[in-house]
Amino acid sequence: MLSIWYCMVDQNLLVLLCVCGNYEYILVEKRGEKKNVGFIQLNRPKALNALCDGLMKEVGQALDAFEADGDVGAVVITGSEKAFAAGADIKEMQNRTFQECYGGNFLAHWNRVSTVKKPVIAAVNGFALGGGCEFAMMCDIIYAGEKAQFGQPEILLGTIPGAGGTQRLTRAVGKSLAMEMVLTGDRIGAQEAKQSAFELTLAEGNRLEKRLFHATFATDDRKEGMTAFVEKRKASFQDN
Ligand SMILES: *[C@@H]1O[C@H](CO)[C@@H](O)[C@H](O)[C@H]1NC(C)=O
C-alpha cells in the first residue's frame, strides 16, 4: 500500500462520463490517451451509490480484470457529484443475525481494493459515509472535491464500522478526530480531511474490528437502528 494523500481538486474534474460495460451497478472503461487508466464509476444513483453486495462483487471483478491487464497502470474509482458512496446497503443488513455475519465472515470480500497491486485512486465528491468512507480509504490516494463529506455514522444505527473504518480513519486523520467521528457519527469536509496520513500494519486491527462489527448483530439496538433507518424514522435505542 502507498500512503493516503488528500488533495483538493476542482469538482469539474469529477464531472461524470458516459461509459459502457457489462455491469449492473458500475460503469467500467479504459481511459486516457493510451487507454492505460482503469476507470470504475459506482452507478446506483437512486441509492446514492449504497454499496450492496452485488456492487462490491462487480468492483472486485473489474479490479481483477484491471490487475491482469498489462496495459493498465493505475485505477480510478469514482461516484457521482452527489455521492461517492453514501454507505453500505442497510436494507441488505437489516435482518441479518450474528450467526450469519460471523459464519459468513460478512464484508470480508470488501478488502479486494486494498490488495490491488496497481495504484488505486478514489476521486470523491459528495457523501463518503460509512462503507463509502471505508471504501475510499482502502484506495491508495483520495482526491476530494469541495463538496466531499467523510464520516463513519454507524453508531447512529447501533453498530460500528466493519470494513476498516476504525483502523484506517485513525491512521488517516489521527486518533482524536477518528475517535470523535466514530463515537459521534459527525462528518468532516474535504478541508478537514486534508491531513498528513500514514499506514501501519492493519491486519490485526481489521480482524478484531470485523468480529466486533459482527457482534453488533447480536444486539437489539443494531436491529432497531437499521430498521428505523429503513423505515425513515428516529431510532429508539434501549442500550441492549
Ligand atoms: C426485515 O424484517 C421485517 C419483519 O421483522 C420486515 O418487515 C422487513 O421487510 C424486513 N426487511 C427486509 C429488508 O427484508
- Which residues line the pocket of ligand 1, CB cutoff 6 A? 91, 94-95
Query: Which residue CA neighbors atom 13 of ligand 1 most closely?
Result: 91
Looking up cell 481511459 gives 31
Q: What is the pLDDT of residue 193?
A: 85
216: cell is 453488533
Instruction: Kindly give the number of the ligand 1 atom that is closest to the alpha carbon of 92.
Output: 13
Angle at 192 between CA 198 and CA 163, to 5 degrees: 55
Q: What is the pLDDT of residue 164?
A: 92
CA distance 38 to 36: 6
pLDDT tens digit at each of 240 positions of the chain: 333 333 344 433 433 333 345 899 999 999 999 999 999 999 999 999 999 999 999 999 999 999 999 999 999 999 999 999 999 999 999 999 999 999 988 998 898 999 999 999 999 999 999 999 999 999 999 999 999 999 999 999 999 999 999 999 998 888 889 999 999 999 999 988 875 855 446 777 788 888 889 999 999 999 999 999 999 999 999 988
Q: What is the pLDDT of residue 127?
A: 98
Q: What is the pLDDT of residue 195?
A: 59
Q: For the chain, how long is the longest CA-to-CA vector? A: 57
> Domain locations in the chain?
3-230
Query: Which residue CA neighbors atom 3 of ligand 1 most closely?
Result: 95
Q: What is the pLDDT of residue 3?
A: 33
CA distance 159 to 37: 36
Query: Which residue CA neighbors atom 2 of ligand 1 most closely?
Result: 95
Strand order in the sheet with 83-85: 83-85, 127-129, 149-151, 187-189
Q: How many CB atoms lie within 10 A of CB 19?
A: 15
pTM for the model: 0.81
CATH superfamily of the 3-230 domain: 2-enoyl-CoA Hydratase; Chain A, domain 1 (3.90.226.10)
Q: How far is the CA of 44 from the centre of ligand 1 (A)?
A: 22
Contact of 226 with 217, CB cutoff 8 Å: no
131 is catalytic: yes
